[in-house]
């Protein structure tokens, strides 16, 4: 069923106004089912999850957002057992998240922490938000260099592991829907670095960028590149984009696709 897009960008935060009739629920057979063995390695025994991120995560707490969706889906699979703490702050980069990681992640004593970072690290090197000007060379000092991005993510991963917290790294979603643009070309280097960090530190890596590119690319093949599909401003996801994020994370955690696809939408 299609979800109507309702998105307003206020400053860097998106506020959603999703009708009650669009609140998702699981079929009874799913909510009563024993958690499938595929997800037990990641979610078994987990009681609290912290998601650290930027405005995409912060706004994801609103109805239709990916954090909002994840809480409801996991509550259906594990009734009353898993709490998600939203630690997203608008404008944050890897440097900001690492600086507050102890207070906003570790001090919550979660069993699992997800880190979604990279959009602002690259985007802010190309766009001067104060003067509303684009720099195609991506040489603004407000971005985060790749080496520093790698360093700060590694520090967060090691801090979490030292506290006995499992880590999931979530790759950044596209910066605008011009997939061959300079921002998205550079972003692929940051995603590769995150994937490498996950491999080196035995973390789970979930690629959120790839499904966005797949959907956007298919759409643009038939409809051109003049209309944003998954984000009203090209960066901050609309409900359709957030739904892709939530479903991709659930699959990455091992939730069987058949359980996800049994999602219903109230009439």
pLDDT in tens, 131-158: 999 999 999 999 999 999 999 999 999 9
Question: Is it the case that residue 6 has pLDDT exceeding 90?
Answer: no
Mean pLDDT of 6-21: 36
Task: Judge whether 163 and 113 are in contact, CB under 8 Å.
Answer: no
The confidence score (pLDDT) of residue 255 equals: 85
- Position 223 confidence tier, pLDDT thresholds 50, 70, 90: very high
**Could you give phi then psi for residue 116, rounded to 5 degrees?**
-115, 105
The confidence score (pLDDT) of residue 59 equals: 97
Mean pLDDT of 75-104: 95
Say how many CA atoms lie within 13 Å of 105 toward its Cβ.
32
Stretch among 11-15, 108-112, 134-138 having the lowest mean pLDDT: 11-15
Instruction: Report the SS3 class of residue 184.
Output: helix
pLDDT in tens, 163-179: 999 999 999 999 999 99
What is the pTM (predicted TM-score) of this model? 0.84
Question: Is it the case that residue 1 has pLDDT exceeding 90?
Answer: no
- Position 79 confidence tier, pLDDT thresholds 50, 70, 90: confident
pLDDT in tens, 21-42: 343 443 433 333 344 444 446 8
Q: How long a stretch of residues is the chain?
A: 267
Question: Higher model confidence: residue 95 or residue 40?
Answer: 95
Instruction: Report the SS3 class of residue 209.
Output: helix
Query: How much is the CA Rg of the chain, to the nearest whole Å?
Result: 18
Question: Is it the case that residue 260 has pLDDT exceeding 90?
Answer: no
Question: Is it the case that residue 120 has pLDDT exceeding 70?
Answer: yes
Question: Higher model confidence: residue 192 or residue 267?
Answer: 192
The confidence score (pLDDT) of residue 7 equals: 36
Question: Higher model confidence: residue 257 or residue 145?
Answer: 145
Instruction: Report the SS3 class of residue 89.
Output: coil
The confidence score (pLDDT) of residue 41 equals: 62
Q: Give the separation between CA 92 and CA 122, rounded to whole angstroms.
A: 11
- Position 264 confidence tier, pLDDT thresholds 50, 70, 90: low
How high is the mean pLDDT of the chain?
86
């Amino acid at each position: 069923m299609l979800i109507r897009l309702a998105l307003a960008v206020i400053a860097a935060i998106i506020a959603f106004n999703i009708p009650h009739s669009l609140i998702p629920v699981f079929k009874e057979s799913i909510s009563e089912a024993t958690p499938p063995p595929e997800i037990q390695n990641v979610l078994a025994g987990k009681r609290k999850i912290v998601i650290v991120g930027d405005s995409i995560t912060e706004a994801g707490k609103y109805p239709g957002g990916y954090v909002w969706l994840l809480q409801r889906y996991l509550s259906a699979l594990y009734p009353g057992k898993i709490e998600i703490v939203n630690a997203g702050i608008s404008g944050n980069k890897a440097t900001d998240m690492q600086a507050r990681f102890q207070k906003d992640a570790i001090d919550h004593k979660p069993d699992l922490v997800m880190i979604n970072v990279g959009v602002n690290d690259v985007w802010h090197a190309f766009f001067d938000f104060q003067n509303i000007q684009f720099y195609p060379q991506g040489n603004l000092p407000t971005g985060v260099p790749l080496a520093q991005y790698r360093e700060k993510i590694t520090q967060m991963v090691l801090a979490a592991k030292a506290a006995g917290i499992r880590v999931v790294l979530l790759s950044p979603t596209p910066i605008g829907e011009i997939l061959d643009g300079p921002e998205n070309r550079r972003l692929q280097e940051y995603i590769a670095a995150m994937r490498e960090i996950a491999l080196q530190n035995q973390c789970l890596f979930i690629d959120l960028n790839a499904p966005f590119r797949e959907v956007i690319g298919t759409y643009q093949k038939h409809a051109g590149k003049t209309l944003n599909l998954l984000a009203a401003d090209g960066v901050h996801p609309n409900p359709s984009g957030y739904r892709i994020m939530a479903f991709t994370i659930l699959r990455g955690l091992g939730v069987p696709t058949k359980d996800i696809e049994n999602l219903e939408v109230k009439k």
